[in-house]
Amino acid sequence: MPHPSAERLGRCLPRGFVIGTATAAAQIEGAADVGRRTPSTWDAFSAQPGRILDGSSTAVTADHFHRHAEDVRLMADLGADAYRLSLGWTRLQPHGTGPLDPEGVAFYDRLLDELHEAGISPFVTISHWDIPVEYEHGWLARDTAHRLGEFAALVGERFSDRVTAWITINEPATVTLNGYALGLHAPGQALLFDALPTVHHQLLGHGFAVQALRAAGVDGQIGITNVHTPVVPATDSPDDAMMAALFDVVHNRVFADPVLLGHYPHVPDELAPLFGAFAEVPVEDLAVISQPLDFYGLNYYMPTRVAAGAGSGESPDGTSDAMADLPFRLEEFDEFPTTGFGWPVAPQFFATALAEVHERYGEVLPPVYITENGASFADEVNAATGAVDDHARIDYLAAHLGAALDAVAPGGPAEGLDLRGLFVWSLLDNWEWAAGFTQRFGIVHVDFDTLKRTPKASYRWLQSALRARD
């Protein structure tokens, strides 16, 4: 049965508001041994014992490489307006050098053609975490920024005519924090504040990619995706307030301010020594990073509560020994229910995230797409009926979409922000990075043994909402 609010919510969607689904190449494509595809940093990371919770790898995942036609049909039956996908860098450019590989190009040609035939607009992410393993120092090296610009030039020229929107890079905050500061994601380094050069190099790579796409004359719009979390202090104490402000800077502002304002955020003098990596950034770099964009992609999942003082090393994505050495700790939101990942379900903070970016960036903030929003739950197929009744996800999506629309409506806390659409994470249950197959985000269930797709109740609910649009 459709969720009782599906039709009402569908009728509330503004005309032209884009509803889509999102995925990432490393999480769904599989086919790691097909063609000339070479290992990415995530292939290398998953091969290290103990790095992935269930010991799984990127080898098969959801096998989207072989099942893309079925997956596009699922999107079309859903009634989705758009699909956010990412390009497998090492499938298209083996070893991260040279021209594009014809077999890799052929795969994305087929996928883009199928999307257009189904009336679904492709939103393409150029770099969604899986960079070539040959880039030995990864994002610690400035050269990787240049390599992203070169890759963007190649894919921009090749796929320009069929891409509605280009996203240069996805969630540089997660790459820096989990991959280089805390050791939870590829490449598994735990450098804490010494990871900050990866911020600048990712943003510089974004800027080079923007230049390359514009030089290629792409038809689609160009933007970036950052993940934002509203940050609140655990208590009213000055120390908690300062540490909450510090976390806001390292998670949100060092990634958004240079792109939208052309400079890194100002911090209190007592915190300045932590940010020495930004002390002498060339003005020319900031000009490249802050080129005007056609849209800004914002991912929202949860708020963060911060207290002063070291903790146990717990983070939203796992336990990190390095995190116990930080001057702050993350506290739980006991007042909210949680997802399978243990993340707080707090749609009211979605409105806060939108209000914060609207207030901070004002007229320089371009139109916004919510490029990811979703939740993991322990979904199971009912053995008797074959159904997957994920009503917790329906409640999550209904509440969050409603909160976003209310936030930008007249009288809302983000009134005036130009919100253009929302992409549900994710279309399919997928390989969830360091969590392997232990977390399910999809509105379509995937049996990871047989690879059978089963639309969940949330898929049917969203389908009803989209059919009810004016």
The set of catalytic residues is: 372
Non-local (6+) Cβ contacts of 327 within 8 A are 243, 246, 308, 309, 310
Neighbours of 348 (CB within 10 A): 15
Give the separation between CA 434 and CA 46, rounded to whole angstroms: 8
Task: List the one residue out of 26, 118, 127 whose CA is nearest residue 434.
Answer: 26
Give the separation between CA 24 and CA 430, rounded to whole angstroms: 9
Q: Which residues of 355-393 are buried (b: 16+ CB within 10 A; e: fewer)?
A: bbbbebbeeebbebbbbbbbbbbebeeeeeeeebbbebb
Give the separation between CA 19 and CA 22, rounded to whole angstroms: 10
Give the separation between CA 175 and CA 317, rounded to whole angstroms: 12
Tokens of 462: 């969203």
Vertex 191: Cα angle to 339 and 356 (nearest 5)? 50
SS3 content of the chain, % helix, strand, coil (to 5): 45, 15, 40
